[in-house]
Amino acid sequence: MGGGMAHRLLSLQYPVTVYNRSRAKAERFASAGATVANTPHEGAAGSEIVISMVADDDASRSIWLGDDGALAGAARGSLLLESSTLSVGWVKELSAAAQARHCEFLDAPVTGTKPHAANGELFFMVGGSAVGFARARDVLSVLGREVLHLGPVGSGALLKLINNFVCGVEAAAFAEALSFLTAGGLDRKKSIAVLGNSALASPLIKRMMTSMEANDFTPNFPLKLMTKDIGYAIKEAENCGVPLPTAVPALEVFKHALEKGLGEEDFSAVVKG
């Protein structure tokens, strides 16, 4: 996702500095005109806007904090955007750290896939101040088809977790349905065709069906990250005093798929779990 976003900005002649923990992944942007940084600190230094897109809270902490972190390199008054899917608690902690550095911070997670990122068709859900949102709107509009300001810091992170836990529940339920129809002796191909033309055939389910038909589970959204997001959502709901009785068993379905070694495949591979 971060790679697609960088390519999009470079294609429109934005000056871009990139950093990746695996330098080889960053080097491929050099031929498109990007400057390759050796550390997050170096990547943030001199930049008016810093965007992070990483896997989880731990990766975000490693990118932003410490002497080599992006926060230490960010100039006073710069705009910091965290577009990863993270816990609300960490997002608020990071916002406070940014404020201490006299920087503007927004949590701006996205919905969409790698092709959406490359084509500027992401949907940004933004939390933070109205002033920060106004500053970020132009660049986010280049990266996304829609940019929505939801409210204070943490608002984007919370809605993204809600979105992803519902997607995970839907995917887990469909995986269970396939096991059920197979165990019941139904013709799998005919049954899936019927389900694909029924009310349950959401875009997510249709995407899963496409992966199944092609037997291609190349990750657009890795299963291990869906598992992580469901877990984050459950913990955040607990903090809000809200039980998620459908999310808990869905998480177990995804954990089982992880145990079978499917974590690096697309989340739709949960049907193989």
User: Which residues lie closer than 8 Å to 164 by C-beta, 6 or more apart?
Assistant: 85, 226, 229, 230, 233
Measured CA to CA, the distance from residue 270 to residue 272 in angstroms comes to 5
Other beta carbons within 10 Å of 13: 8
Q: How far is CA 25 from CA 21, 51, 85, 208, 240, in A?
A: 8, 17, 21, 28, 39
DSSP 267: G
Listed in order, strand segments (DSSP E) in 28-177 are 35-36, 49-52, 79-82, 104-107, 110-111, 122-127, 144-151
Token pair for 141: 């509009």
Active-site residue, from 25, 114, 160, 260: 160
Cα 123 to Cα 131: distance, rounded to the nearest angstrom: 20
Query: Which has the closest alpha carbon to 262: 229, 214, 225?
Result: 225
Three-state DSSP state, 38: coil
Determine whether 272 is an active site residue.
Answer: no
Strand 49-52 and strand 110-111: the pairing is unpaired
Active site positions, annotated: 160
